[in-house]
Amino acid sequence: MNPPAVIQLDHVYAHPPAAVWKALTDPALHAKWWAAGDVRPVVGHRFTLDMGPWGQQPCEVLAVEPERLLKYSFATGTLDTTLTWRLAPEGTGTRLTLTHEGFNLDSPMGRRAFEGMKPGWPGVLARLGTTLGV
C-alpha cells in the first residue's frame, strides 16, 4: 500500500498578498484562471468547481486565514484530496505555496488524477499570474 501522494509547488507573483488572495477567493477571478465555482473564504462553506470534462467537483472550506491561508477539500467522495494555498509576502510580491495532498495511488482513479494534475498545476499557477496582471 502506497502512502497518499502530494503535489507541492511554489510560485512568486509580483503582486501583494491582497491581490493574490482576491484571485483565490473571488469567484469571478477564480473562473478566469482555474475553474468556475462559488468559492468563498468561509470555514464550512460548501461549493463545487466546474472542472469541465472531469465534471462538478464538490469542495468544502476547512481553514481560512485572510491573505495567508485557504484550505479546502477537493472532489469529496471521489478523489478526497485537499488543496492548501499559503501566501507569504516576498519583497513587494507574494510567494504562493500550493499543496495538493491525499492522492490514493493504489486507486486507478487516484493515480490517473495525480499523474494528470502534477504536470498540470504549473500551467494553472501561470494562468493565475496572467489574471493578476490584468
Per-residue pLDDT of 92-101, as tens digits, reads 999 999 999 9
DSSP state, residue 2: P
Report d(CA 17, CA 54) in Å as an integer.
Answer: 30
Asked if residue 134 has pLDDT above 60, the reply is: no
Categorize the per-residue pLDDT at 83 as very low, low, confident or very high, splitting at 50, 70 and 90.
Answer: very high
Neighbours of 106 (CB within 10 A): 11
Asked if residues 118 and 103 have their Cβ atoms less than 8 Å apart, the reply is: no
pLDDT in tens, 49-82: 999 888 899 999 999 999 999 999 999 999 999 9
Q: Among 92, 78, 77, 97, which residue's Cα sits nearest to residue 24?
A: 97
Strand 46-50's sheet: what is its strand order? 5-13, 93-103, 81-90, 69-74, 56-65, 46-50, 36-37
Q: Residue holding cell 477571478?
A: 29
Quick: pLDDT tens for 11-31: 999 999 999 999 999 999 999
